[in-house]
Amino acid sequence: MQAYHAYGTTSVFEEHGVANELLRAYKDARRDGTLTMRASLVLSPNWKAAGGAPFGPLIEAWAGWLGEPALGDDWLKVTGLYVNIGRSTAEELRATAAPYTGWAGFNYDAGLPREQVKNVLLHCAKNDIRAVATASTSPGMLDLFEEVDREVPLKGRRWVLGHINTLSPRDVERIVRMGLVITPHTNRDIYKQGHVLQKSLPPQRHSEITPMRDLIDAGVHVGLVTDNVPISLFWPIWESVARLARVTNERVAPDQAITRAEALRCATINGAYLSFDEEKKGSLEPDKLADLAVLSDNPLTVEEKSIADITSLMTMVGGRLVHQSPSWNG
């Protein structure tokens, strides 16, 4: 929490999901009064523990508490279920080596065969449980969401598709139609691997690489994320604006760049939209929660390459000072 506060972050969304042991750690911090970060969590399921139980009654009886409105309060709540298609060899090995959750806090073997995932998603939709998935670990998840949407409309449910890397214009249209929330992995797919993606695609498809411009112009709610590396949200803000590849120092699909103001909205009010909290936080307005930061530079005017270097001089959550730098004299 302190590491994130140092860059002005006041709320987190655990997109990959949290296993029970990590959820307990959050609950302990909330109970003890040491939780200084507002946290919206997504449950990482342990399907092996369910054995051969049919998903319909299981989700209705056991997972019904995951439905919206979320269970919890403005400090800590659980909002949805993480879903994943299949299990990679690496995930199986990790699950064997770390029978609980290892370093990342989620169950490594949370994946299911595609047809079982569809079954889970259908029951989630019928029970108002929000589904959260990452496209990089579940290729074809957008198609699966669309199959569910044909049976139970998803518009308004704010299902999340994270870690997208390439999206075609048709994909964007489908995302708009279903009202999905998108969280791109800019650090990987623009900064670290953007040049690789450009080499793998014909020039006419380069605009499909993390198409921030197309998504925002289409009215999609895009929430920027760090994936914990680096922890500062000013990196994805900078990456969305500059779109520079680390290795080549060339711009990746520059026509998909967004403005600084747009990137800031993706990191603030759109982040609040992720957790159904846009009426409470994400912007500085009367009657909203007193979560704010005084920054080391103005992200709208500082030299572009310096956006990623911005830190917080003072961070406040709920009117309480949770971080101050040595240079803060407010």
- Could you report the per-residue pLDDT of 168-226, keeping only the tens digit for each? 999 999 999 999 999 999 999 999 999 999 999 999 999 999 999 999 999 999 999 99
Q: Is the pLDDT of residue 227 over 80?
A: yes
Phi, psi of 222 (to 5 degrees): -110, 125
The two structure tokens encoding residue 151: 């049976």
Q: In which domain, by residue range, is 112 found?
A: 46-70+80-288
d(CA 22, CA 201): 39
CB atoms within 10 A of CB 133: 28
Question: What's 32-54 look like in SS3?
Answer: HCCCCCEEEEEECCCHHHHCCCC
> pLDDT of 113-154, one tens digit each?
999 999 999 999 999 999 999 998 788 999 999 999 999 999
What is the pTM (predicted TM-score) of this model? 0.95
- Domain count of the fold of the chain: 1
Q: Is the pLDDT of residue 102 over 70?
A: no
23 occurs within a structural domain: no
Residue listed under structure tokens 């969305």: 240
Dihedral angle, C-alpha 112, 115, 119, 120, nearest 10 °: 20
24 occurs within a structural domain: no
123 occurs within a structural domain: yes
99 occurs within a structural domain: yes
What CATH number should be reported for the domain holding residue 270? 3.20.20.140
d(CA 158, CA 132): 9
327 occurs within a structural domain: no
pLDDT tier for residue 99 given thresholds of 50, 70 and 90? low
Residues 6+ apart with CB under 8 A from 165: 135, 136, 184, 185, 188, 189, 193, 197, 209, 210
252 occurs within a structural domain: yes
297 occurs within a structural domain: no
22 occurs within a structural domain: no
- Is the separation of the CB atoms in 35 and 76 below 8 Å? yes
The two structure tokens encoding residue 141: 């998840």
**89-96 contact pairs (CB < 8 A, 24+):** none
